[in-house]
Structure 1
Amino acid sequence: METKERDRIKQNIEKHGCHLIMVMEDDYLPAFVHTIGLYEKYGHPELICFGLKKEVASEILNDAAEMISEGQSFVPDQSYDDFLKEHPMQFLSVDKRYYEFYFGYASRYYGHDDFPVLQMVWPDKASLFPWQAGFVADLKFKQPLLDRNVDFMFYEERNVAAFTTKQVLEGAPILYVYHDDEDGAWQFHHSKNPDQKDAKLVALAEITKIDPSVNQVHFLPYGGAAWRKSPQDKWEY
Structure 2
Amino acid sequence: MFEASRICRCVICHDYGDRDDYGADDRGVIDNVEKFGWSVTGVPADQQGPGWSYTIGRWHSRGGPELAMFGLDLSTMQSCLNILGKRDGLADGQAHDQVVNGYPVRLRTIEPTWYKAFFGHGIWFYRQPPIPFLEVVWPDRDGTFPWDTGNLSQPHLWLAPGEHPPGVWTQDV
TM-score interval, normalised by the smaller of the two chains: 0.7 to 0.9
Q: 1:23 aligns with which of 28, 39, 43?
A: 43
Q: CA deviation at 1:4?
A: 4.4
Listed one character per residue, the Cα deviations across residues 170-222 of structure 1 (whole Å, up to 9, x for unaligned) are: xxxxxxxxxxxxxx9xxxxxxxxxxxxxxxxxxxxxxxxxxxxxx9x7239xx
- In structure 2, how many angstroms separate the alpha carbons of the residues matched to 1:149 and 1:115? 17
Name the counterpart of 1:128.
Answer: 144
Name the counterpart of 2:102.
Answer: 86
Q: Secondary structure at the match of 1:75?
A: coil
- In structure 2, how many angstroms separate the alpha carbons of the residues matched to 1:30 and 1:41? 29
Unaligned runs of 5+ in 2: 1-17
Q: 1:50 aligns with which of 70, 94, 99?
A: 70
How well do the aligned residues superpose, as a CA RMSD in angstroms? 2.3
Name the counterpart of 2:4.
Answer: none
Name the counterpart of 1:219.
Answer: 172
Residues 81 and 89 in structure 1, CA contact (< 8 A), matched pair in contact too: yes
Residues 55 and 81 in structure 2, CA contact (< 8 A), matched pair in contact too: yes
Large movers: runs of 4+ above 4 Å: none
Q: CA deviation at 1:154?
A: 5.6
Give percent identity, aligned residues only: 25
Letter in 2 for 1:11: D
Name the counterpart of 1:224.
Answer: none
Q: Secondary structure at the match of 2:97?
A: strand
Q: 2:129 aligns with which of 96, 109, 113?
A: 113
Name the counterpart of 1:62.
Answer: 82
- In structure 2, how many angstroms separate the alpha carbons of the residues matched to 1:113 and 1:32? 22
1:193-232 counterparts in 2 under 5 A? 218-219=171-172
Residues 113 and 160 in structure 2, CA contact (< 8 A), matched pair in contact too: no
1:3 matched to 2:25? no
Residues 111 and 160 in structure 2, CA contact (< 8 A), matched pair in contact too: no
Residues 141 and 155 in structure 1, CA contact (< 8 A), matched pair in contact too: no
Q: CA deviation at 1:15?
A: 1.6
TM norm structure 2: 0.78
1:162-201 counterparts in 2 under 5 A? none
Listed one character per residue, the Cα deviations across residues 69-120 of structure 1 (whole Å, up to 9, x for unaligned) are: xxx2211212111202331100010000001101121111111233110000
Name the counterpart of 2:161.
Answer: 150
Q: CA deviation at 1:20?
A: 1.5
Q: Secondary structure at the match of 1:128?
A: coil
Q: CA deviation at 1:64?
A: 1.6
- In structure 2, how many angstroms separate the alpha carbons of the residues matched to 1:148 and 1:117? 13
Unaligned runs of 5+ in 1: 157-183, 185-214, 221-237
- In structure 1, how many angstroms separate the alpha carbons of the residues matched to 2:38 and 2:57? 5
The structure having more radius of gyration, on CA atoms, is 1
Name the counterpart of 1:99.
Answer: 115
1:34 matched to 2:54? yes
- The higher relative CO (CA closer than 8 Å, separation ≥ 6) is in 2
The structure-2 alpha-carbon separation of the partners of 1:123 and 1:107, relative to structure 1 and needing over 3 Å to count, comes to: same
Q: CA deviation at 1:152?
A: 4.4
- In structure 1, how many angstroms separate the alpha carbons of the residues matched to 2:35 and 2:128? 24
